[in-house]
Amino acid sequence: MLAVRSLAAGDVPAVTRIVCDLPEYFTSDVPGKVERDISRHDGWVLTDSGDVAGFAVAARRSPGAAEILWMAVDPSRRGRGFGTVLLERVLRELAADGVSVVEVKTLDRSAGYQPYEATRAFWERKGFVYVDTIDPLPGWQPGNPAAIYIAALRPTR
Ligand SMILES: CC(C)(COP(=O)(O)OP(=O)(O)OC[C@H]1O[C@@H](n2cnc3c(N)ncnc32)[C@H](O)[C@@H]1OP(=O)(O)O)[C@@H](O)C(=O)NCCC(=O)NCCS
């Protein structure tokens, strides 16, 4: 049975395991960054019969805007709708908290890196609209062009 709840400090080892199990997506510095962001921002975990099967972390950027900083599903469970369940809950809670637009940054198609084709397909399928490419993006390693995606949770005008 799938459930979504707030991410607690005790979830860090399970979240770290998911990140480490996705080496095509996350470099070795990411677990530390995720742990730091979990302590500063809102997070959620998706559980599958009690086991942590996915997580998301979102930062508030302004009263009406948030950014999903991190999101991943256990690789053995990808492509089965788990990410959709988690994302819908995150977006519903952000909307209820007054957020109008949500940003996500991911690896741009110009990088020519195949694993992230599925990631961009996921965001686009979930209604995120490609807005821009930033290269280099401050804080990202050189050679990793960032694709900026935005989803509107409500009209802003
Ligand atoms: C991106 C991720 C969180 C999505 O979670 P998921 O459980 O695999 O996604 P879902 O099964 O809910 O897929 C939802 C949609 O995305 C699309 N999608 C998912 N995987 C896809 C793939 N490999 N190729 C094309 N489209 C894909 C599907 O069209 C699906 O659409 P549907 O709702 O019509 O079926 C997950 O795959 C993951 O952890 N990826 C690696 C880490 C990562 O890229 N994180 C995001 C960094 S920005």
Confidence (pTM): 0.97
Tens of pLDDT along 29-78?
999 999 999 999 999 999 999 999 999 999 999 999 999 999 999 999 99
Choose the residue to mutate in 122, 126, 128, 149 for probing ligand 1, maximizing ligand atoms within 8 Å of C-beta.
122
* Pocket lining: 72 vs ligand 1, CB cutoff 6 Å: yes
Report the side by side order of strands in the sheet with 2-6: 2-6, 42-48, 51-62, 65-73, 101-107, 146-152, 129-134
* Pocket lining: 86 vs ligand 1, CB cutoff 6 Å: no
For the segment(s) 2-152, the CATH number from 3.40.630.30, 3.40.50.980, 3.40.50.410, 3.40.50.970 is 3.40.630.30
